[in-house]
Amino acid sequence: MIKIAFIGAGNMTTHHMKAFASINSVQITGIYSKTIEKANHLSSLYPTCKVYNTIQDLYNKTKSDLVVISVSELATEIICMECFKYPWKCLVEKPIGYNLEIANKINEEALKYNRDVYVAFNRRHYASTRNLLLELNKTNETRYIHIYDQENQNAALLSGQPEIVVKNWMYANSIHLIDFVFLLGRGNIKNIINIIPLIDNYILTKIEFDSGDIVIYECIWNAPAPWSVVVNTKNKRWEMRPIEKLFFQDFTSRQLQEFELDDLDIIYKPGLKVQAEEMLKVIRGEKNNMPKIKHALDTMKIIYKIYNN
């Protein structure tokens, strides 16, 4: 059995537990959280899960292969620093820290202890994303990628997010979409051009890859707009809007056609079941599609360049 422990007892932990527990080779071993009542509730759902009072006990008494860390942005650094003391693999909810400086500190600590740290970019594991990548791999045509983002700092503040996190909301939330830059663009980034720097509530950036692929990142702040990802090639167009769905349009057609939804993205929070299966491949030493902490750091560096140039 592959033993998995959890830190945090919020909504994401609930979804992660459900996904991992559905796999026969998994044992949910324990949970640590400052919110004891929530931890007790989650523990009661899984017979092998116990609540522990410290991260040290969580590791020493379970000897888990993997710890899933789903805590607030402000708590991520201190929790990661403590977890890296133990030789389990780590799956951390994004972002890795609330800004690039904190992310660098966490990465340095992971390197210091030589820990395997992976990041839960669950949108990479959506059926829509996986189908898009399968489609794109069928052609070598240049990709013109349009990422359309919308962020609402006012709503984030009203929902109880700390001010420091909201000030860095491009790391906390835009990272979901900006991760598609590296996922869809091929080769190395050769140029980032801020066509329109952040003015009032609008930003427009062009990202050029040495493969010829081009990404346009566009974001509306504190105003209405959708999230969407569009990829155009010479002969086909794909659109994810909402991100959970994928549509395509052939060159000879004016009609958008929809890819069929995956039941795994209906039964479980989208992407989490496939992500759990990919993490088990990591633990078994098999080929996998899990992004490491370096991928998260590279994405946060792109965010920094977009918003600080």
Give the count of domains, the chain: 2
Looking at per-residue pLDDT, the higher value among 253 and 180 belongs to: 180
Angle between helices 175-184 and 293-308 (to 10 degrees): 110
Q: What is the pLDDT of residues 181-219, one digit of tens each?
A: 999 999 999 999 999 999 889 999 999 999 999 999 999
- Model confidence at 24: pLDDT above 90: yes
Q: Are residues 243 and 296 in the same domain?
A: yes
Residues 139 and 156 in one domain: yes
Give the structural domain span for 159.
124-268+292-308
What Rg do the C-alpha atoms of the chain give, in angstroms?
20
Residue 279 lies in a domain: no
CATH code of 88's domain: 3.40.50.720
Half-sphere exposure of residue 12: CA atoms within 13 angstroms, side-chain side: 19
List CB contacts of 75: < 8 A, sequence separation 6 or more. none
Q: Give residue 252's pLDDT.
A: 86
Domain boundary pick from 76, 93, 120: 120
Spatial distance between the Cα atoms of 147 and 141, rounded to a whole number of angstroms: 19
Q: What is the mean pLDDT of residues 212-238?
A: 97
The whole-angstrom separation of Cα 265 and Cα 263 is 5
* Domain assignment of residue 281, yes or no: no
Find out whether 30 and 50 touch, Cβ atoms under 8 Å. yes
The predicted pLDDT at position 83 comes to 98
Do 13 and 79 lie in one domain? The reply is yes
Q: What is the pLDDT of residue 200?
A: 85
Q: Which of 91, 120, 149 is the last residue of a domain?
A: 120
End-to-end CA distance of the chain: 49
pLDDT tens for 54-63 read: 999 999 999 9
Domain end marker among 120, 152, 169: 120
Among candidate residues 300, 271, 275, the one with its CA nearest the CA of residue 289 = 275
- Average pLDDT over the chain reads 96
Instruction: Give the Cα separation of 178 and 223 in Å (integer).
Output: 19
